[in-house]
Amino acid sequence: NIAGGTRAEEWMPLDHTPLDSFRQTMAINFDYIFMICRDAAREWIARDQRGALVNVSSVSSLTSAPWHGPYGAAKSAIRALTQTMANEWHEFGIRANSVLPGAVATERVMARVIPANVVPGTEQNFTEPVELANAIVFLLSDLANGISGQSLTVDRSLSTKFCSGARKSRKQLEAQ
């Protein structure tokens, strides 16, 4: 289950984040996970079918998400909800796990990030889409039968060097 993301205009300190923006970010990154998984589990339970779910969270759920707090909160909520799914549905043979990618080198991400922030030669910190897909396929496969309620980080070690950046000074904010 993958969708969501951040919008360029939502990168700001929490004390500047409008409630409507917070709610939109939560909805696109979290609400659909609940609805899709609830409906799938309900159907599998009714049919007495086993199943496996993999929800896409983010390395932004691991600690804090400076300057994109609503996104980090939504992705943290996915991890917690996935563990609850694993707990509640294990008796029906339903496994639930999450993957935590770093910055995935999609066309959209690369178009927005590369020109603005990346130092040439450091692109290796970006997770390739196929690397994320391989982790998801593994968690959905019979090879992962004993794995449920877990989070697998797929980030080429980005989370080991994640930096938060800095808040703009009053002068910088006034100059905008």
Question: How far is Cα 146 from Cα 139, in angstroms, rounded to an integer?
Answer: 10
Question: How far is Cα 40 from Cα 47, in angstroms, rounded to an integer?
Answer: 11
User: Which entry of 30, 71, 89, 126 is annotated as an active-site residue?
Assistant: 71
DSSP, residue by residue, 90-145 = GGGTEEEEEEEE-SB--HHHHHHHHHHHPPTT-GGGSBPHHHHHHHHHHHHSGGGT
Question: How far is Cα 147 from Cα 23, in angstroms, rounded to an integer?
Answer: 32
**Whether residue 32 lies in the annotated active site:** no
Question: How far is Cα 123 from Cα 22, in angstroms, rounded to an integer?
Answer: 30
DSSP class of residue 30 equals I
Is the dihedral angle over the CA atoms 173, 5, 28, 161 positive or is it negative? negative
* Catalytic annotation, residues: 71
